[in-house]
Structure 1
Amino acid sequence: MANDSNSTSLPWYRRTFRWGQTNLTEMDPVSCDMAWWKQYWRETRVQGVIINAGGIVAYYPSSLELQYRAEGLGERDLFGEWVTEARSEGLAVLARMDINRATQAFYDAHPDWFVVNAEGKPLTADGRYFSCINSDYYKEYIPEVLKEIIVKYGPDGFTDNSWTGVGRNTICHCEHCRSKFKAASGLELPKASDWNDPAYRQWIKWSYSCRIENWDLFNQITAQYGGADCLWLGMVNANPVKTHASFCDLKEVGERSRIVMCDHQSRDSLNGFEQNSLNGQLLHGVAGWDAIIPESMANYIRGVRAFRQGSMPPKETRLWMLEGMAGGISPWYHHVGAVQEDRRQYDNAPPVMQWHEENEMYLYNRLPVASVGLIWSQENTEFYGREDADEKVALPWHGFVQALTRARIPFIPVHADHIDREAHHLDVLILPDLAAMTDGQCESVRRFVESGGSLVLTGATATLDEWGEKRSEFPLEAAIGLRHLNETVGAVGKQSSNWAYYEAHNYFRLPSEEERHPILAGFEKTDILPFGGYLHRVQAGEQLKPLATYIPSYPIYPPEFSWVRERETDIPVLLAGEHASGGRIVYLAGDVDRCYGRTHLPDQGDLLANAVKWAAADVLPMQVEGPGYLDCKLYRQDDRFIVHVLNLSGANQDPGYLEEHYPVGQITISIQMDDFVPASVQCKVSGQQVVPEIRGSKVTVRIDSITDHELLILE
């Protein structure tokens, strides 16, 4: 498929791949050097820029009296100057907004436009008042700001990283929210966060719909005054657990947005660098693989402590950028301030952006090749995760992400509403403690299994309805032959940080060696496996057989008391079997995915990977052998295959910053290519040409060494 990025006949959102943002500060109008920035744009090969315009701070002479102007603006039109220079360079321009708070003067003029608690007291931070998303601030005033900017400057669109307003920890009790919620639900606003209160659960869903309503309103305004290609884009974070705190519905945004602006600037304490390739694949899953998905990538220091003007270590920034590209992310450098005393940060992005330009044709217009789908949904985050989504949802999700990445098993994230859409090219679905599911989602899983698909599910999957309420019957019982006994055993809930935590000192009992299932391969020299979690009591039909049983907790300290009290039980922790339709079923009654997400204990990662490999009958589109922790992605692009290999060996220490790469090799990559025989293999990082080895439908490539990454083109 030819790369059409240079075709001016395409709209800007289909041909703008590299982005830059200088998040202007209030004093930048005094001393910013536009000539310097124009040269930086050229060095970084950007095709579009994001420039601060209005909202919380205006960088242009607004006719709207209450819009606060940057302290150093004076009589300048800084936004206008940046737009003029960007247009002279042929760049697309997005006007950056921040609309979730305003000044005391604004509040005094329109107190009914701002968030208040149940007693009518406004919510403030650093002298600013938080605006209510249901008030005329969003419905009338911001549309006027958008109109003014469009008429004066003609930007291609708008971004806003705070468009969702206040988060889930704040219930606004202004008159707009009270009357609107009453009209929508027939209920009064909940007084506080209480998952047992039906009104609170209704408020959660309603809060999502209010944000999407504003998304649609703002796009109506931009289209009305700027034309069909003038887009209001907000910003999103691709982490399906984190976004629930801000009421951002990723699926709804993906369905609406022709380009998705992602604000996920660096790795965090739970997710490593591999999170960024996952970001791209997850967002492409909801927006389509033809959408461009730029992501804001920090050049300032983030981590345990953030330093807005300090330079992020270059390898840290670059590996995060490279990981994003492997998942289909477009690079978007991000600096805070137009004048920097730590000028080292300007060296971070150019080499990666230049490499991206050179290899642009391989990074777009392609589809992932994977036979495993990892299922997610925001209903599960909300109504199962509730007040503890990190423990209940993030850890099982992360556990499987890490296990699959570590085992080099190609997979794609799939929204639970899209199972039917994606089923035709998937062999295995993984449901990582996806407890809260709609009836339609459960029916999609049943259809997948009954048509011959394989299933790996864990914990409380499908035991709750879409509101997080306990189902009277397990909806997958007939499909997989499993009945829940509504009882849990072991270390339930958030665990103590005390290493001697008694309840988590439990194990799996493995059967005798001659009775062991292939899922237990690699554990020949042990009769037990460390667990550390809890399990659901279940009763299985004939098609599922227990592969391991539960050893209850016993004292861990003092060591003299640390001996097994109950060596054998009949409580299964892992079951597997074959379905009559031909697929395979694996059920982990024990929350191994959550435990692995917490501890990264290799035994548990191996067990998860073994379960997926067995469910796939060991038929995977790509196998990668060799040393190191590698994140491997496979794509098809017309008559070529594309392989990304990211070397994360030693890179995911936390806390910490990447200071050195540890080269690994030899790496052997084998790809199943039933309808394709490559004539050549190019390595687009090392520059080498590799001769492929072809045996039947399998193509094997050997790479001597990989430092940070390699991009292989087989055609």
Structure 2
Amino acid sequence: MLKTFLSFCLLLLTSVAAVSQKASAEEELWWRKNNLRVIQTNLPDYEAATLNPDSLVKDLVAFSANTLIINAGGIMAFYPTKLDFHYTNPHMKPDMLGEVVKKCHQNGIKVMVRVDFSRMHESIYKQHPDWCYISPEGERMINTDMYVVSINAPYVQEKAFNIIEEIMDLYPVDGIFLNMPGYQTRNSYADKYHGIDQNVYDQKSFAAYSDGLKLPLKEDGSDPVFRKYMEFKKFTVDQWSERLNKLVKSKNKQTAICTYMDKHVDIIRHESQNNTSLPYWPYTASDNVSNAGNSYPDHIISNASIQQISFQSRFNAVEPMEVQIRLYENIANGSGLDLSMAGDTRGYEDERNFNVIRKVYTHHKKFEPYYGNYKSVAKVAVIAPGSWVHGEQGQEYRGVSLILKEAHIQFDVIEFTQIAKLAERIKAYKTIIFPEITNLSEEALEVLKQAAAGGTNLIGTNRSFSAYPSFLSEVFGAKVVSKDNDGAGNYLVPDQKEFKRFSLQKMLFWKFNLGLYNFSGADEKFFPILSSGRPGPPEIIGGHEPTGYYAMGVKKHAKSKAALLPINVGRLYFVHGYEQHKNILLEALDHVMPDAGKLVQTNAPAKVEVILKEYARNTPENRKTRQMEGLMLHLVNLTGFSGNTYFEPLPVLDLKFTLQSDFKPAKVFAMNSKKPVKYTWKDGYLTLDLSRLEDYEGIVISKK
């Protein structure tokens, strides 16, 4: 009996030890600390001959960087490869990459190597033309002497893994950064669309996946074959990513996988790129980090500030103040720092940003314990139409986000594809806003119904939910009459008693889309729509008569409200910036959620970005327990942003904040100003004063 008992105890201790070792190993994964300060040197081939490992590491240390991303292989080998299908950089120095890795490690800097399997050199193409992309017209996708490859051909399916294995066998790298993964239809570097890849390997793979279907020739969402092809693309990319993960982790579990996708990776990378058209968008980093971080909460996020103006202008950097805003937004929203430059730090063609990089990276290093371990306090969520937004739908989304940012309303961003996967989190929000979200799964719609029944308010703009008539009717009491209607010349009539922001206005002009909906199933209707009337000289204008339609309908549920605004309100504000259009959305939000603005109340200008988070110091014990230690108030000064360029921000004086806080602080201090922060706490509200804001401030509100 005693022997049996002792055996049981030994088994129990062994199990506990195994669990403890597993948890310990998980904790030791270096990227999970979420304290990245990345510098990426995107080396042109010729700089492999001139890069000096000693000077590079010296510069990284001076910048306070703790992670380097540097070229290794794929498009070309920056090391002495023995693989005959791996084109060698003709400027390659045999010891360059190895010396960089060794000297970085000696200085406590991690090294992730960049691999890119999207293209191959012409010399390899001539031997294996069947490995490369071919358009429906029989054209190749080429950049000088580099040919775009096909994902399902042997180069990506077999040889890429051989290259990664060789790199990991030669060098003790800390991570693999996979650049430009996935299928390609457009030559991004030449900005030319080529179409769906018709490579023979793609034909065979798709036929096997789809029971004999032929590859579609056009991207047509109404075509069932194209929809099947989209499934196929996702399946093959996920399958390849899983194989990569298994290979890398079989060789070293401490090697991180970093790329732009979420499946089978450790670090999701995103990019703040230069705007290609006006109006510029100064919130790219906040947007990217919030979107990825909230949509994929189990991942570490690293949002790269891309130095270059464009692919055609890589050696000219964006403005220093734009980089500064991006970097501060990164850390304020819970990621680390990440910057990508074209080439070595020595002899760099545009060094104007170096002081900004050094300043922000040094700040992050100094106050590292207060960054990277946050919990959202937001009660509002905005659903994003994707991780890379564009077009009119992107403008609607950005306009809605801009309205909330300028009103200092705290909100999380969640990608539309993740609604069903984050059901409990979705139901916890008090209000969710859908800026023209038109493509949702049945599972997502069911989650939203349950959320509305449980007390979550829903607000939809423009064409949101227009493809789901039963959902529109049940949740919003609405029916589509015409979801596409040019609103140029029309007016909306605000209810001046209900909506205080319009006390001096009787008519609000319109342009862009103005959907016509039947709100007979709604409980409330607002903003009557007037007809476009008579355009012309002053003598004949007028004739704006009621159309019988409304720009906002509200259906009341037992515990919530659902408001539909079938109008391009976000896009109109994003493009033109008239405050009356901002006020339409803010009035709608106040109507369904009267306390939306009470979480943060401030006299700060609209161009001071205010980000409030719960924090715990970023230490191993806190990462395990997630016990929050207080609040962090981040202030990013965007007053230098003029709409089409970035100047030095203007100092902002005498700021006052009232924050909802369920605890009385033990101390409050500001990181940068080095001056005391005056504060009082009473009845669940904390009031504090900041005498001066320069470029950025982080205010720590500690429970103890």
The answer (yes or no) to whether the contact 1:406–1:631 under 8 Å persists in 2 is yes
| Structure 1 counterpart of 2:159 | 141
Write the deviation string for residues 161-218 of structure 1: whole angstroms up to 9, x where unpaired.
Answer: 2122413652111111111112222321112233332212222332233222222121
| Structure 1 counterpart of 2:287 | 278
Structure 2 SS opposite 1:457: strand
TM superposition shift of 1:378: 4.3
Counterpart CA distance in 1 for 2:137 and 2:527 is 56
Q: Which runs of 5+ in 2 are unaligned?
A: 1-23, 187-192, 616-627
Q: 2:339 aligns with which of 330, 333, 337?
A: 333
| Structure 1 counterpart of 2:485 | 490
TM superposition shift of 1:585: 2.5
Write the deviation string for residues 318-350 of structure 1: whole angstroms up to 9, x where unpaired.
Answer: 122112211122112322122425444433311
The answer (yes or no) to whether the contact 2:431–2:457 under 8 Å persists in 1 is yes
Q: Which runs of 5+ in 1 are unaligned?
A: 1-5, 237-252, 382-388, 465-470, 492-502
**Which range moves more in the overlay, 128-137 or 421-430?**
421-430
Q: 1:530 aligns with which of 498, 506, 509?
A: 509
Counterpart CA distance in 2 for 1:200 and 1:599 is 36
| Structure 2 counterpart of 1:94 | 112
Counterpart CA distance in 2 for 1:476 and 1:451 is 18
| Structure 2 counterpart of 1:153 | 171
Write the deviation string for residues 416-460 of structure 1: whole angstroms up to 9, x where unpaired.
Answer: 334523135310011112122111111111111111221111233
Q: 1:232 aligns with which of 224, 233, 257?
A: 257
| Structure 1 counterpart of 2:401 | 401
> Which one-letter code corresponds to 1:213 in the other structure?
Q
Counterpart CA distance in 1 for 2:230 and 2:578 is 36
| Structure 1 counterpart of 2:242 | 216
Correspondences of 1:21-60 after superposition (within 5 Å) = 21-60=40-79
Asked if 1:315 corresponds to 2:321, the answer is yes
> Which one-letter code corresponds to 2:151 in the other structure?
I
Q: CA RMSD in A?
A: 2.5
The answer (yes or no) to whether the contact 1:233–1:259 under 8 Å persists in 2 is yes
Asked if 1:457 corresponds to 2:460, the answer is yes
| Structure 1 counterpart of 2:547 | 569
The answer (yes or no) to whether the contact 2:249–2:255 under 8 Å persists in 1 is yes
The answer (yes or no) to whether the contact 1:143–1:218 under 8 Å persists in 2 is yes
The answer (yes or no) to whether the contact 2:668–2:701 under 8 Å persists in 1 is yes
**Which range moves more in the overlay, 334-343 or 391-400?**
334-343
| Structure 2 counterpart of 1:659 | 647
Counterpart CA distance in 2 for 1:351 and 1:202 is 50
The answer (yes or no) to whether the contact 1:419–1:444 under 8 Å persists in 2 is no
| Structure 2 counterpart of 1:204 | 230
- Matched-pair identity in %: 21
Counterpart CA distance in 2 for 1:489 and 1:531 is 14
Asked if 1:685 corresponds to 2:649, the answer is no
> Which one-letter code corresponds to 1:315 in the other structure?
M
Asked if 1:704 corresponds to 2:691, the answer is yes
TM superposition shift of 1:628: 4.1
Counterpart CA distance in 1 for 2:677 and 2:699 is 9
> Which one-letter code corresponds to 1:417 in the other structure?
A
**Which range moves more in the overlay, 136-145 or 602-611?**
602-611
Write the deviation string for residues 100-147 of structure 1: whole angstroms up to 9, x where unpaired.
Answer: 111222112112111112354433222221110111111111000001
**Which range moves more in the overlay, 598-607 or 149-158?**
598-607
The answer (yes or no) to whether the contact 2:463–2:483 under 8 Å persists in 1 is no
Change (3 A) 1:260 1:488: closer
| Structure 2 counterpart of 1:174 | 199
Change (3 A) 1:418 1:634: farther
**Which range moves more in the overlay, 442-451 or 196-205?**
196-205
The answer (yes or no) to whether the contact 2:57–2:100 under 8 Å persists in 1 is no
| Structure 2 counterpart of 1:548 | 527
| Structure 1 counterpart of 2:6 | none
| Structure 2 counterpart of 1:422 | 425
| Structure 2 counterpart of 1:622 | 600
Counterpart CA distance in 1 for 2:132 and 2:312 is 29
Equivalent pairs counted in the alignment come to 651
The answer (yes or no) to whether the contact 1:267–1:275 under 8 Å persists in 2 is no
Correspondences of 1:512-523 after superposition (within 5 Å) = 513=496, 516-517=497-498, 520-523=499-502
| Structure 2 counterpart of 1:3 | none
TM superposition shift of 1:677: 1.0
**Which range moves more in the overlay, 696-705 or 21-30?**
21-30
Change (3 A) 1:177 1:561: farther
The answer (yes or no) to whether the contact 1:279–1:327 under 8 Å persists in 2 is no
Write the deviation string for residues 437-491 of structure 1: whole angstroms up to 9, x where unpaired.
Answer: 1111111111111112211112332232xxxxxx4x32242233x1313324631
Change (3 A) 1:206 1:487: same
Asked if 1:603 corresponds to 2:628, the answer is no
Counterpart CA distance in 2 for 1:570 and 1:8 is 61
Structure 1 SS opposite 2:185: coil
**Which range moves more in the overlay, 59-68 or 30-39?**
30-39
For normalisation by structure 2, the TM-score amounts to: 0.87
The answer (yes or no) to whether the contact 1:58–1:68 under 8 Å persists in 2 is yes
For normalisation by structure 1, the TM-score amounts to: 0.86
Q: 1:694 aligns with which of 681, 695, 702?
A: 681
Counterpart CA distance in 2 for 1:325 and 1:505 is 44
TM superposition shift of 1:609: 2.0
Structure 2 SS opposite 1:260: strand
Structure 2 SS opposite 1:477: helix
Structure 1 SS opposite 2:198: coil
Counterpart CA distance in 2 for 1:700 and 1:56 is 56
**Which range moves more in the overlay, 328-337 or 163-172?**
163-172
Write the deviation string for residues 345-385 of structure 1: whole angstroms up to 9, x where unpaired.
Answer: 43331111000111211111111110001113549x9xxxx
Counterpart CA distance in 2 for 1:171 and 1:633 is 42
Change (3 A) 1:181 1:9: closer
Counterpart CA distance in 1 for 2:505 and 2:308 is 45
